[in-house]
Amino acid sequence: MPLRHQTSTATVSQDEHDLIRSILAGSSEAFERLISPYSDRLFNTLAHILRNAEAAEDVLQDALLQAFVKLNTYQGKSSFYTWLYRIAVNLAFSYRRRERPTISMDSQKREHGEEPHSTLEAVDAESLRMERAEILHLAIGELTEEFRTVIILREIEGCDYETIGDILAISPGTVRSRIHRGRLQLREKLIPLFKQNSPAT
Contacts of 163-166 with C-beta under 8 Å, sequence gap 24+, read: 163/79, 163/81, 163/82, 166/78, 166/82, 166/86
pLDDT along the chain (201 residues), means of 10: 46 67 88 89 86 89 91 85 89 80 46 44 51 72 86 84 89 92 86 61 43
Same domain, 94 and 25: yes
CA distance 168 to 31: 24
Q: Which of 49, 70, 98 is the last residue of a domain?
A: 98
**90/131 same-domain check:** no
Query: Would residue 3 count as lying in a domain?
Result: no
pTM beyond 0.75: no
Q: Which of 98, 130, 152 is the last residue of a domain?
A: 98
Distance CA 185, CA 131 (A): 20
Whole-angstrom Cα Rg for the chain: 19
Is residue 7 situated within a structural domain? Answer: no
Q: Are both 123 and 188 inside the same structural domain?
A: yes
Give the model's pLDDT for residue 47: 87
Q: What share of the chain is helix, strand, coil (3-state, %, to 5)?
A: 70, 0, 30
HSE, side-chain direction, 13 A CA sphere, residue 62:
17
- How far is it, in rounded angstroms, from Cα 90 to Cα 83? 11
Q: What is the per-residue DSSP string for 35-86?
A: HTTTHHHHHHHHHHHHS-HHHHHHHHHHHHHHHHHTGGG--SSS-HHHHHHH
Amino acid identity at 149: T
The answer to the question of residue 186 being in a domain is yes
Residue 2, domain member (yes or no): no
Asked if residue 67 lies in contact with residue 20, where contact means CB atoms within 8 angstroms, the answer is no
For residue range 67-77, list pLDDT tens digits in order. Answer: 998 999 988 87
> What whole-number distance in Å separates Cα of residue 168 and Cα of residue 83?
10
Task: State residue 126's pLDDT score.
Answer: 52
Q: Indicate which CATH number applies to the domain containing 56.
A: 1.10.1740.10
Neighbours of 162 (CB within 10 A): 13
Q: Which domain holds residue 140?
A: 118-197
Size (the chain), residues: 201
Question: What's residue 125's pLDDT?
Answer: 56
Distance CA 104, CA 124 (A): 28
Rounded percentage of the chain residues whose pLDDT exceeds 70: 71
* CATH code for position 179: 1.10.10.10
